[in-house]
Amino acid sequence: MGQPFSLSLQRRPRRLRQNEILRDMIREFRVLPEKLIQPVFVLDQESAREPVGSMPGIERLGRKEFLEEVRVLSDLGIRSVALFPKIEQALKTDSGRAAAVDPNGIVPRLARLVKDAGIPVNLIADIALDPYTTHGHDGVVDFSTGEVINDPTVEILSEMAVVYAEAGVDWVAPSDMMDGRVGAIRKALDAARYENTVIMAYSAKFASAFYGPFRDAVGSSPVKGGAYLDKSTYQLSPGSVREAMVEVALDIEEGADIIMVKPAGAYLDVIQRVKDQCDLPVAAYQVSGEYAMIHAAAQNGWIDYAAARDESLLAIVRSGADIVLTYFAKEIAQQ
């Protein structure tokens, strides 16, 4: 027999992939629990667990269950929790103001419960009107034209942020995409002596098709005629990256502490561009539709659930996200 075939190669990249110890040692990117934020849907009930049908494994929690969940998350190493309320229909109004700025509303009450219990987590509250309005838009609507009116909306959002800060919320996260809201919120917080309240701005929030399960979870936008509520007059067009960069620059100028891109998976290029051009921490939101699709494909046997989940998160981190909001956070911490 002749000599076995052998290439004369000075460099063989596979040498660095030959065993798990070596692969782990040289890995550039990791998904760390302390970098994750767990979104939690909450109900203004003493005790409740309501499954979200479009999001397997996710529930809306009453006050008792929410406190229990926050303790579990904290013990697992998840240091930040984002609150998203589902409001009773009877409390919703056209402007959303009454429920949104109520000091005894669901978010302020839960914030006080967590702080009184001494649970060491960072509480993040969404600042937008969609859970509180009858129509599901993120702002005040002029019903004569159908326009979402910018400045009156910002006035309510600023008041809302102060109410939440007073209750003990650590970060406020304006997700409405109104012009000038970051500057107005920063001014209102500072005037109320909440200079240390962090603003995590949804700076590049796109009018995405991937939000459907979230809107189901908070009850903000029922399907009408087979189509979800159109928010494209204030959320970004998926094809407009330059507009996204303008929004990012304005939010930085107005005093945002953290910049967010939403959604994450379909906008990895935007995350990378923001990271390259921004010195602030960059957050990315792996949204409900991304979560639901991975579950649906896995349930049909089309993909490996854990592998796809982990790869999707690694891609977001690799693209430049310092912080990731994901419904997988608890699972990742449990590994």
Burial degree of 271 (CB within 10 A; 0-12, 13-18, 19+): buried
C-alpha to C-alpha distance for 295 and 303, rounded to whole angstroms: 9
Taking only Cα atoms into account, the Rg of the chain, rounded to an integer number of angstroms, comes to: 21
Q: How far apart are the first and last CA of the chain?
A: 50
Helix then strand then coil, in percent of the chain rounded to 5, is: 45, 20, 35
The single-letter code of the amino acid at 229 is L
CA angle at residue 255 from 252 to 261, to 5 degrees?
Answer: 45
Name the active-site residue from 35, 231, 262, 275. 262
Residue 253's H or E segment, with its range, is helix 241-254
Whether omega before 263 lies within 30 degrees of 0, making that bond cis, reads yes
Report the amino acid identity of residue 160.
Answer: M
Cβ atoms of 133 and 96 within 8 Å: the answer is: yes
The answer to whether 326 and 284 are in contact (CB under 8 A) is: no
Exactly one of 205, 231, 275, 330 is catalytic; which is it? Answer: 205
For the question of residue 205 being annotated catalytic, the response is yes
Q: How far apart are CA 176 and CA 234, in angstroms?
A: 8
Residue 204: how many CB atoms within 10 A of its CB? 29
CA dist., res. 100 & res. 81, Å (int)? 19
Contact 280, 323 (CB under 8 A): no
Alpha-carbon span 71 to 12, nearest angstrom = 48
Q: Which residues are catalytic?
A: 205, 262
